[in-house]
Amino acid sequence: MEDLGEIVGEFLMESHENLDQIDRDLVELEQDPNSRDLISRIFRAIHTIKGTSGFLAFGRLEKLAHAGESLLSKLRDGVLPVTPTTITTLLATIDGVRSILASIEETQAEGDVDIESIIEQVNAQMNAGEAPPAAAPAPAAETAEAPQPLEETPVRPAPEPVENQRKPIGEILVETGAAQAQDVGSALAQQIEGDERKLGTILLDEGKAQPAAVSEALQAQTPKRSIADSAIRVDVDLLDTLMNMVGELVLARNQLVRGVMETGDATLVRSAQRLGMITSELQEGIMKTRMQPIEHIWSKLPRVVRDLSQSLGKQVQLVMQGKETELDRSLLEAVKDPLTHLVRNAVDHGIENPDQRIATGKGPEGTLTLRAYHEGGHVAVEVADDGAGLNVERIAQKAVENGLLRPDQIPNMDRRDIMAMVFQPGFSTAAKVTNVSGRGVGMDVVKTNIENIGGAVSVDSTPGEGTVWRLTIPLTLAIIQALTVDCGDQRYVVPQVAVLELVFIDGQSTKIEYASGAPVYRLRGKLLPLVRLDRALGLDVGADEGVYIMVLQADGRRFGLVVDRVLNTEEVVVKALNSRFKDIGLYAGATILGDGKVGLILDVSSLARRSHLTADAERQNLEASARAGKGAGSGERLLVTAVGERRVAIPLDTVTRLEEFPRNRIEHAGSREVVQYRGQILPLVRLSHLLGAYGEEPEGDTVSVVVYSEGARSVALVVDRIVDIAENSTTARRDAEEDGLVGTAVIQQRVTELLDVRRAILAADPNFYTDLENDELLVEA
């Protein structure tokens, strides 16, 4: 009996996957009605469901699947044309199958899902075309169609058995512009004449394509196959257990390495380093097992878009880019609903009716683009439509009506800040409420859900051209980018996603002021309310000078957190805190710091709430952020460092980590300086030497470095000091004549040089990029 349960469970899981695929394929088929490949694939999938349900004695399910299969076979044989109506009928059939499966999952029985009306619908479809009368009743069709052997169905056009989804390499090369169509053609002709070399090899041998391009094309070709064929199912609990064990292994490794270093035994040190390397790789590997391509949650969206646009009488084309982008499983789950909501909203409100579109000079068909990509330590997911755009005036008016803004605030506000009002609870500008959206619930829920997982939501829109909703999501829940800070004699951890910038308070040019007792700071002319971390934690309150302000944003509020010292950014593994600390509310969790001690992760939004920001202060804050936002625009974020007397900025997205190395750990390899780092030899380059800024070596036992990694390779740029993180909002920027720089700009009222990162990296490791390319080639070979 147990075994049967397992079989049924597997059947359910497999069928759900199949159904999702069928959904996608049907929607695609509607776009491309003549694709026999698609019909065959759908046919096969539904045939599998039918077969297994017969075997497991789910009679009703079998009957329904059979009806769908019959209709499909008519499409396949060209007896019936593929029309939107047939697609709708087939989708209804799939939904019926789904309901039965759901019922089986819950009650182990098929339940009383109404399959008769669906079957009737299917039969009506089959009769609608000039189907032979014999096919009219379903049972008759059954005998006619069921025994069809599967192998006959796919008609494969290619001479060699190409996987049904695999694109020919030649086609990829031509599409990406890496090879000429005629070269590919002649290479193909050679193959037909008996040349046994692979197509890519022929092109390479004749110098018609670049090795890198071919290897890229090969990679582009393979993933589809690997996902479909070489995957196994693993229990998530098992992965979690493994993950925990690897965490322990990492700690044990750290202790061991520390101990071994002290002994100074060269053989042991080597073994320990090797152990360290393997552990790091193992950790990375386990993390990867929890990653899934975002495609998993996107796969349901074509259906959503199709159904919704059809019911609204709109024409929408769905484009997906970057569906292989991977996210931690638990995050995918959390992102699913917000994303679906954004997509529905975009179809409902974003994209206009065909008439309206034509009236504004656009094509009748709107385009909805889903885009996912990596950015820094985050994944960005965008939902972009080419619709009418957000009506900023309407939003502003509504915000005033709802008391969220005062009328006099509006003229000073940045468009994007006004648009961000749509994320406020109870806010909807929809002229009419539909059953899809416009009820004022939704956007705020989207925002809350995304913020709960440490992400952020933003919106940008151009009138007449469309709207882009953007979700920024951390790569995993378990590991976050964080800044470590000192307060009192303790170290705390602040999630980096909340940090906008850092300001050092020297008491002279920058200082903390008091507005009737409430500490504030003038950030670019606007008052920023401050929260002293020591006071918030009930510790002894320290001085107002020589401290740092972390400008944080949470729950739409901007405030400054005063800490004694900001140390560095680190990737930390988040550990849940015991329930006995829940009531305090100030901590989002705990983590193990580099020295093995426990560090508390601060909960930024509750700090913001706890800071007794009065309604007035909030408004000021909002105003301030509106102004600040205006200046900032979409400038890139820069890491400002000090090199000698000069300030050098490095684009933040190229920075992997910031580290401090003890001076005595710097070793020499040839003429180069290197340091051992996470089981690797990390080449160092001193920016002061590179830029010719020789000056006095800064004192202290450690050097500050900026680590840059790509693939498995890393280099470290040595700077004198990390100054700040700033947004490059300036316009005064000129190209530098000096070597190693791409230009200069005025950042925070000071002239700052922009580093040519590529050059700096090559100075540290001339083989950095070439090796990377070679590695790729190796993969191909």
Partner 1 sequence: MASRQFATFEVANQLFGVEVHTVQEVLSYSEYTPVPLAPPAIGGLFNLRGQVIAAVDLRVQLGMARKALEGQVMNVILRGDGEPVSLVVDRIGEVVDLDDDTFEPPPDTLSGPTRELVVGTFKLDGRLMLALDVNQAVDTQRVTT
Binding site for partner 1 (CB under 8 A): 244, 247-248, 250-252, 490, 537-539, 575, 577-578, 580-581, 583-584, 586-587, 590, 592, 596-600
Q: What gap in Å lies between CA 367 and CA 466, rounded to an integer? A: 10
Residues 6+ apart with CB under 8 A from 634: none
CB of 707 to partner 1, least distance (A): 24
C-beta of 24: minimal distance to partner 1 in Å?
41
CB count in 10 Å sphere of residue 106: 9
Q: For residues 229 and 489, which CB has a smaller minimum distance to partner 1 in the complex? A: 489
Residue number with CB closer to partner 1 (93 or 591): 591
Task: Look up tokens 């053989």; give the residue.
Answer: 267
Residue with Cβ nearer partner 1 (257 or 761): 257
Detail the DSSP E strand segments found in 83-166: none
Nearer to partner 1 by Cβ, of 580 and 668: the residue is 580
Q: How far is the CB of 595 from partner 1 (least distance, A)?
A: 8
Q: Cβ closer to partner 1: 572 or 652?
A: 572
Residue with tokens 């160092």: 684
CB of 680 to partner 1, least distance (A): 23
Measured CA to CA, the distance from residue 446 to residue 540 in angstroms comes to 39
8 Å CB contact between 286 and 322: no
Yes or no: say if 437 and 348 are a contact pair by the CB < 8 Å rule: yes
Name the residue nearer to partner 1 (CB basis): 257 or 716: 257
Cβ neighbors of 241 (< 8 A, separation 6 or more) are none
Number of Cβ within 10 Å of residue 546's Cβ equals 12
In whole angstroms, the minimum distance from the beta carbon of 581 to partner 1 comes to 6
What is the nearest approach in angstroms of partner 1 to the Cβ of residue 261? 19
Give CA–CA dist 589/395, Å, rounded: 37
Q: What is the nearest approach in angstroms of partner 1 to the Cβ of residue 241?
A: 13
Of the pair 454, 599, the CB lying nearest partner 1 is at 599
Three-state SS for 259-277 is HHHHHCCHHHHHHHHHHHH
Q: Between 239 and 537, whose beta carbon lies closer to partner 1? A: 537
Return the number of the residue (248 or 616) whose C-beta is nearest partner 1. Answer: 248
- Collapsing DSSP to helix, strand or coil, 556 comes out as coil
Say which DSSP state 347 is in.
I
Structure tokens at 733: 């920027």
CB of 244 to partner 1, least distance (A): 7
Q: Distance between CA atoms of 191 and 214, rounded to whole angstroms?
A: 17
Quote the least distance from Cβ 605 to partner 1, whole Å.
Answer: 17
Cβ proximity to partner 1, 244 vs 321, nearer residue: 244
Place of tokens 């050098």: 648
**At residue 92, what is the residue type?**
A
Residue 216: enclosing H or E segment and its boundaries?
helix 211-221
Minimum CB distance to partner 1, residue 542 (Å): 14
Question: H or E element: which one contains 620?
Answer: helix 615-632
Supply the minimum distance, in Å, between the C-beta of residue 472 and partner 1. 28
| DSSP code at position 509 | S
CB of 585 to partner 1, least distance (A): 9
CA-based R_g, the chain, Å: 30
Asked if 603 contacts 590 with a C-beta cutoff of 8 angstroms, the reply is no
Q: Measure the CA–CA gap between 674 and 715, rounded to whole angstroms.
A: 9
Choose between 168 and 247: whose C-beta lies nearer to partner 1: 247
Q: In what order do the strands lie in the sheet with 672-677?
A: 657-662, 702-710, 713-719, 680-686, 672-677, 666-669
Question: Could you tell me the CA-to-CA distances from 695 to 109, 642, 688, 741 in Å, in that order?
Answer: 80, 12, 8, 18
Task: Give, in order, the Cα–Cα distances in Å from 326 to each of 288, 373, 374, 377.
Answer: 9, 9, 9, 12
User: Please, what is the minimum distance in Å from the beta carbon of residue 540 to partner 1?
Assistant: 11
Nearer to partner 1, 241 or 767 (CB): 241
Is 88 or 606 the residue whose CB approaches partner 1 more closely? 606
